Amino acid sequence: MKTTVLSFLIDRRWVSGEDLGSALNISRSAVWKQIEELRRKGYKITSIPGVGYHLEKMPDCLYPEEVMLGLDTKYLGQEIVHFFEVGSTQDEARRLAEKGAIEGVTVIAETQLSGRGRVGRSWNSPSGSGIYISIILRPNLKPNEALQIPIVAGVAVACAISEVVSVEPKIKWPNDIILGSKKVGGILAEMSAEIDKVNYIILGIGMNVNTTKESFPEEIKSIATSLSEECNRKVERVQLVQQLLRELEALYEEFKLVGFTPARKRWKKLNNTIGQRVKVGGTEAIVGNAIDIDKDGALIVKDDEGNRKRVVAGDVFLRTVEHG
């Protein structure tokens, strides 16, 4: 219902209460209630008696009705739960998954109070300038194959960014989204599994979209960037979320249909890690040359003794551009 009122307002310069009422088959006072509800959410709508309604300004919010407007996916993002503020969208999505939410249900927040990153880090989640999204997936996979999903997702994020913003991000293994030499986005996949079967995966994606350089916390200023900083303009978050859901669904469908090979090929085209001298992990760090990712998405590093090491988790430091 709200989608329809909103889509009318977006499509036409002016729309009368009467036209809206008959298109939606509701009374004019019900139309007025819908308009008031949109106004409460921050949509600036002018009304002139005898003429109708005109949408002047949209709020910069990832409201479900806006994200879903014209979203041509089959199931990703077709049910969206939106929060202004949340601990972590991962936790909200997990709660929904535990209650039986279907594949594709998506949680979006404007800000997170305790956003999580990979390897126990936190994820800086300032209000309204980023994308913080968690998607419930229920792939038919064995737990050891689950690493493939964030690789697929990394490709989707990079493709969505280049489509919407016209910059060409690189992916640092496994799925840090990099512009120049700084991180603009990341992916955290958390799973619930039996010994031989994945129950569900909560795919969490974070992107720094309109964050200003100055507003990054001191400790990540030198390693983080945002899309607006890189392209010198404000980026439409709604458009980017929509494109992300489209790209992700297409790649995930391909993955479910034919397996990991095509995603692996795409990842290899977009990555900045293979062919580099790297250091992976903490205390038991492996130093060597990254030579490939294998059929599961693990990074293959050839150390200085010539041994092939298979890395399934951890942070990669590129020795050419980073200190580690």
Among 94, 116, 266, 279, binds ligand BTN (CB under 6 A): 116
Binding-site size for ligand BTN (CB under 6 A) equals 20
Closer residue to ligand BTN in complex, CB, 58/203: 203
Per CB under 6 A, does 106 bind ligand BTN? no
Per CB under 6 A, does 295 bind ligand BTN? no
Decide: 21 and 28 in contact? Cβ < 8 Å: yes
Among 65, 66, 110, 176, binds ligand BTN (CB under 6 A): 176
Per CB under 6 A, does 216 bind ligand BTN? no
Per CB under 6 A, does 17 bind ligand BTN? no
Residue 204 beta carbon to ligand BTN: minimum distance, rounded to whole angstroms: 3
Per CB under 6 A, does 226 bind ligand BTN? no
Per CB under 6 A, does 123 bind ligand BTN? yes
Closer residue to ligand BTN in complex, CB, 176/247: 176
By CB under 6 A, the residues from 77 to 96 that bind ligand BTN are 88-90
Closer residue to ligand BTN in complex, CB, 52/115: 115
Among 158, 188, 290, 301, binds ligand BTN (CB under 6 A): 188
Among 204, 281, 288, 314, binds ligand BTN (CB under 6 A): 204
Per CB under 6 A, does 206 bind ligand BTN? yes
Contacting residues for 158 by C-beta, under 8 A, at least 6 apart = 169, 170, 171, 177, 270
Closer residue to ligand BTN in complex, CB, 62/298: 62
**Residue, CB closest to ligand BTN:** 186
For 70, counting Cβ atoms within 10 Å of its Cβ (0-12 exposed, 13-18 middle, 19+ buried), the class is: exposed
Per CB under 6 A, does 271 bind ligand BTN? no
By CB under 6 A, the residues from 230 to 269 that bind ligand BTN are none
Could you tell me which stretch among 97-105, 109-117, 250-258, 276-284 binds ligand BTN (CB under 6 A)? 109-117
List contacts with ligand BTN (CB under 6 A). 88-90, 112, 115-118, 121, 123, 132-134, 176, 186-188, 204-206
